[in-house]
Chains A and B, each alone.
Chain A
Amino acid sequence: MNKHEFSVIGQPLPKIDAWAKVTGETRYADDLVLPRMAHARLLRSPHAHARIAAIDTSRAAALPGVYAVITGADLPPVKFGILPVSQDEEALCREKVRMVGDAVAAVAALDEETAERACELVEVTYEPLPALMSIEESLAHPEVRIHEYGDGPNVHKSVALQFGDVEAAFAAADLVREDVFFYEGNTHLPLEQHAAVAHWGPDDKLTLWSSTQTPHYVHRLLAKILAVPAAHVRVIAAPVGGGFGGKLDPFAHEIAACQLSRLCGRPVKIALTREEVFYVHRGRHPVLMWLKTGFTRAGDITGSHLRTWLDGGAYGSYGVASTFYTGAINPVTYKMPVYKFEGARIFTNKPPCGPKRGHGTPQPRFALECQIDRAAEQLGLDPADLRRRIVAEPYTKTANHLTVTTIGLGECLDRVVEASGWREKWRGWNAPPRGRGPVRRGVGIACSSYMTGAGSAVYWNNMPHSGVVLRADRGGGVAILCGATDIGQGSDSILAYLPAEVLGIDPKDVRVHPADTDLTPVDLGSYSSRVTLMCGVAAIQAATRLREVLFQAVAAKLEVDPSRLVARDRKVGVPDDWDRALTFAQAVELGEAMHGVLAFAGSYAPPKRAGKYKGGGVGPSPCYSYSACVVELSVDEDTGMVELHDVWLAHDVGRALNPLLVEGQVEGSVYMGIGEALMEEQVFRKHVHKTPSMLEYKSPTTLETPAIHTILVETDDPEGPFGAKEAGQGPLLPVMPAIANAIYDAVGVRIDEVPITSEKVLRALDLKRQGKPARVGPEKLPLFTFKTPLVVESAFGQPADAITRRPFA
């Protein structure tokens, strides 16, 4: 199908939920009110690491207005975690707390103030343990154990993989660079603070409304944690007021609300404060990186060796996946024939890190793109040309056995180079400075790639990753039931557009019922950029099944062959006999008369392409998106302040199902990248988050956000719905290194860590003035021995396989 045949796809339509959002009608979790509802608060640990000697709740329980007080002792003694390999969390800690902010007790009361006052009356006796606040401290103190499990004392996970002979690759290179980088942790900062309402009914069944990105996983885990049959648990994801990966785990407040509701026989609402949202975290891992890459004189990469140390925080969360992801995606972008990766995630007594937009990949991306910039300088090459030359080959496998389909990166690069005026603005290495007074201008470039949905679920199974049930109504309306969660990215709208396209009706005729585990088939959740592709393909399948039945019925009525029929403009008929076409509603009636109730299912599971090695399950994806970014900025040499002027970002989205939505994802990603690059940081002092507030955790305002120029590149990927790939995360990735590279272009200093604050820029400029190496970045690496790598043949350049061979297709 080419673009012009579509009627819905490719149109800049409003999102279907836009009207409710602009009128204040959308009911987020904290907007829900049920009769007799109680309000809950959690008591959280003030210690970073301590044994719990005793908890006395009697004074709290005696406070008038208190309905129920619970501690860990009131919950079944099970530990849980989002990944089966890291079952290390407790909703309310029983024996020990591992971070400031760990929950130890919960209260339900007639209002929030009473609940909070009661929390303060809970007496907890702690025996403090040494707190380990950094990778170095955790490794230096094996005698202090944050958890008893893992790949060594305080080592949550250690991995080592080698694809081909890196040493030989370096020997064959003309230039080998070794660089060290640090990417500070940061957090999602969704505007909506997490909230949930639990109702344990008199029928002994539980309903939870929550601002969650993954109702399915919450459903499964609630059943386990509360020791109730999953069949009696219903989880409904309320519209989410921003997620970015921060609402992807089951949380203490959700579990506590359920248990409190069970005990006090009332619905219970709980809403976190901004401070608590910082403690709940699951955000970007701080990652220290060592990267060694060999280049030929022409700029080709001969091989690359990456080591990453992740500061994981106090719990596992998605951390094992995060660790693998720091190593998985770099080889997808450029031709990288040989690759070695070693990574370790270390426990510390800080809020757990997890998946934030780009999950585990922005950090190594920063390292690689900054290193390529330096290599280009040493080789005397234009950094845009160098990248253009080494773009990966479509329909091949990478060194680490990932199958890549379409690649629009070459076009992305050409388009950003063109749009930004790179050829005029980038005037060669060490060109004379541009700018006036102390203010210098510079441009920088970087590229990236990202997965469109993880190839495996977080728990091992053979079932679909996404499912849709579609029901056609006699009135001509279509209802879509799907477990996907709209976190603002527009998944509900996609679920309306695609069936509307297939059935020739208006998206307005489609009503989407999302994210209710009682009603909707499972969708794994809004993470890893999987939703559009996976629920999209499932929705197309369901709609196609309906269309076949309608065509049969209409064909019988019109006495034509079904293959001659088309569905468009709310009609079904033969194109050259359109006068006799039936309305869609009539078609549904005929179909229902012929076949009975018209309800169809669609399912999606990604192609089975996991590399045949341990760890090969992290990284495969049906297809990968690509981005190229140019940043123009200026740096004030007296203050070190960076001002962004323009960001050009070209993104290979496969196909823009709705260009407005894709642009919105690109713009939002660029924004978040700017924050990470220049100011956002989740840092700690005296064992506590230094500044858990919207004021002091700096998030860019309109005044720091430059003009963002989005360019969409379409490659029509065979894996995606109508050719679409992801757009929600990939475009964030090149922003940070493009900024770092532009700063170098402007003032000749290398800042090898984010955030690139004005202090760091000024420090580097001072070093430069003193004639020292003009670099600010990490100087030391942790003392840590990685295990012997698992050695696997490089699959680089092998032809792709299993294209569009999906289960359930």
Chain B
Amino acid sequence: MMRLPPFLYVSPRTVAEAAKAVAEAGPGGMLVAGGTDLYPNMKRRQFEPTTLVGLAAVRELRGVRGSAREGVTLGATTILSAVATHPDLLRHYPALATAAGLVSSPQLRNMGTLGGNVCVDTRCNYYNQPYPWRKAVGFCMKKDGDICLVAPGSRRCWAVSSSDTAPVLWSLGARVRLVSASGERTIPIDALFRDDGIEYLAKRPDEILTEIVLPPAEGWASTYLKLRRRGSFDFPELGVAVALRLEDATVAQARIVLGAVASQPRPATKAARALVGQRLTPDVIAHVADLAAGPARPLDNTDFTHPYRKKMTRVFVARALGRLAGLERAGRDEEELA
């Protein structure tokens, strides 16, 4: 049986206590919310914290407040199934509810939190492996080693950002509140991520993500499509998040953000820009989809071959736009589960 390595466990009741506890725990300390990402990783010895600060008992971190008109604030430990089924989110931020509802399995969504999903560790199939496997293949720089096995010679790690909700939150223009013992700050979510497989978050380990703040939804339409082999369990091998503001059927503002193509969510800025001022005709969609496929440079460290994932970027972007355009959508119904 795969078991957790030993650790000390602290269960604070408030954010302030939690912030203090992580600060005190020092470099061996880690936060844990639902544990659905961290515990499997610990069982595989990808992390070996000496102290865990659990956020489960911090009530103020849970729940959804606000409205579409003034914006919605989500507590970081709101579980994914609550996000997926929240009526306001379903109506006004459908891409977010969809993405949350497409994470892994129903059971896991009852445990995993939105904050944990945003902070989820990057993935690589040379790394998300049990300890004996990694020992047999040779350790890599993300844990216990010093080279990259997927891109030998590379000085950085290319592990893949595999969050379903992160690209969506980025496309929605979300902001995140970070609290630590030494203060707090609120930053746009795109400033939370870094393009590095190891240091993939631009936040200090002692900073707690407490809230995710969504701007008003008025006038915006959003959608999310996910590529994976099975309709359940599987991480995204590509995520396409699109948010558009339409004025008289013409695109006034657009954001397209790709998930699972780099160590952080990757905006397809050129493609989004090309949409502005256009109507969503099949020709425009095809052109924009080609542009969006540009920045996707997946490596061979996930499921599906990388040329395939790259090809799918075009198809999925086109389909996401087609769906927002109300064009007859076609293809697999995977994304309609939520």
Contact = CB atoms under 8 A, between A and B. Distances in A.
Interface of A: 44-47, 100, 112-113, 271, 273-275, 436-439, 636, 638-641, 643, 679, 686-693, 695-696, 698, 700-704, 758-759, 762
Interface of B: 1-3, 125, 128-130, 132-133, 135-138, 149, 229-234, 303-305, 308, 311-312, 315, 328, 330-332, 337
A762 B305 CA distance: 12
Contacts of A639: 312, 315, 331-332
B330 A437 contact: yes
Contacts of A636: 330-332
A439 B129 CA distance: 36
A687 B330 contact: no
A113 B230 contact: no
Given A112-B3, A698-B230, A759-B308, A46 B332 contact: no
B312 A704 contact: no
Contacts of B332: 636, 639, 641, 643
Nearest to A641: B332
17 contacts: A44-B132, A45-B136, A112-B3, A273-B2, A275-B130, A438-B330, A439-B331, A636-B330, A640-B308, A687-B136, A693-B128, A698-B303, A701-B231, A701-B232, A703-B231, A703-B337, A762-B308
Contacts of B328: 437
Max chain A Cβ within 10 angstroms of own Cβ: one of B129, B130, B132, B303? B132
Contacts of A112: 1, 3
A33 B277 CA distance: 71
Max chain A Cβ within 10 angstroms of own Cβ: one of B2, B136, B138, B311? B136
Contacts of A436: 330
A703 B130 CA distance: 28
A196 to B, nearest CB: 14
A46 B308 contact: no
Given A639-B315, A703-B232, A704-B230, A688 B3 contact: no
Given A686-B137, A688-B136, A703-B231, A439 B308 contact: no
Contact of A47 (B3, B136, B330): B136
A356 B308 CA distance: 31
Contact of A701 (B1, B132, B233, B311): B233
B231 A704 contact: yes
Contacts of B312: 639
B148 to A, nearest CB: 13
A112 B2 CA distance: 10
Nearest to A689: B133
Nearest to B337: A703
Contacts of B132: 44, 46, 275
A762 B315 CA distance: 12
Q: Which 4 A-B pairs have the closest CB atoms?
A: A437-B330, A703-B231, A46-B136, A759-B308
Classify the secondary structure of A's interface with B. Answer: loop
B126 to A, nearest CB: 9
Classify the secondary structure of B's interface with A. Answer: loop
A702 B136 CA distance: 34
A438 B331 contact: yes
Contacts, number: 85
Nearest to A45: B136
Contacts of B305: 759
B237 to A, nearest CB: 11
A692 B136 CA distance: 13
A556 B330 CA distance: 78
A696 B312 CA distance: 20
B309 to A, nearest CB: 9
Given A636-B331, A639-B315, A690-B125, A679 B136 contact: no
B48 to A, nearest CB: 13
Contacts of A703: 230-232, 337
Contact of A100 (B136, B230, B315): B136
B231 A679 contact: no
A522 to B, nearest CB: 33
A762 B310 CA distance: 13
Nearest to A685: B137
Contacts of B2: 273-274
A441 to B, nearest CB: 13
A205 to B, nearest CB: 29
Contacts of B311: 762
A43 to B, nearest CB: 9
B1 A273 contact: yes
Contacts of B331: 437-439, 636, 638-639, 641
Contacts of B135: 46
Given A46-B135, A47-B136, A692-B133, A759 B304 contact: yes
Contacts of B304: 758-759
Contacts of A44: 132
Contacts of B230: 679, 698, 700-701, 703-704
B317 to A, nearest CB: 12
A274 B132 CA distance: 12
A698 B331 CA distance: 21
Contacts of A47: 136
Contacts of B1: 112, 271, 273
A122 to B, nearest CB: 13
A679 B311 CA distance: 20
A695 B162 CA distance: 14
A46 B139 CA distance: 12
Given A437-B331, A641-B332, A643-B332, A698 B308 contact: no
A637 to B, nearest CB: 10
A700 B315 CA distance: 24
Contacts of B229: 679, 698
Contacts of B234: 695, 698
B244 to A, nearest CB: 22
B315 to A, nearest CB: 5
B310 to A, nearest CB: 11
A589 to B, nearest CB: 51
Max chain B Cβ within 10 angstroms of own Cβ: one of A437, A696, A702, A704? A696
A185 to B, nearest CB: 18
Nearest to A195: B1
Contacts of B129: 692-693
B130 to A, nearest CB: 5
Contacts of A689: 133
Given A688-B133, A703-B231, A758-B308, 12 more contacts: A46-B136, A275-B133, A437-B331, A638-B315, A639-B315, A690-B125, A692-B133, A693-B128, A693-B129, A695-B233, A704-B230, A762-B308
Contact of B125 (A46, A100, A696): A696
B330 A439 contact: yes
B125 A273 contact: no
Contacts of B231: 701, 703-704
A332 B201 CA distance: 62
A435 to B, nearest CB: 9
B302 to A, nearest CB: 9
Nearest to B331: A636
A758 B238 CA distance: 14
A274 B304 CA distance: 22
A436 B195 CA distance: 40
B307 to A, nearest CB: 8
A693 B235 CA distance: 14
A759 B136 CA distance: 29
A113 B1 CA distance: 9
Nearest to A758: B308
Nearest to A30: B1
A437 B229 CA distance: 21
Nearest to B3: A113
Contacts of B337: 703
Nearest to A438: B330
A644 B285 CA distance: 29
Contact of A688 (B137, B232, B315, B330): B137
B84 to A, nearest CB: 16
Contacts of B138: 686
Contacts of B149: 686
A693 B125 CA distance: 11
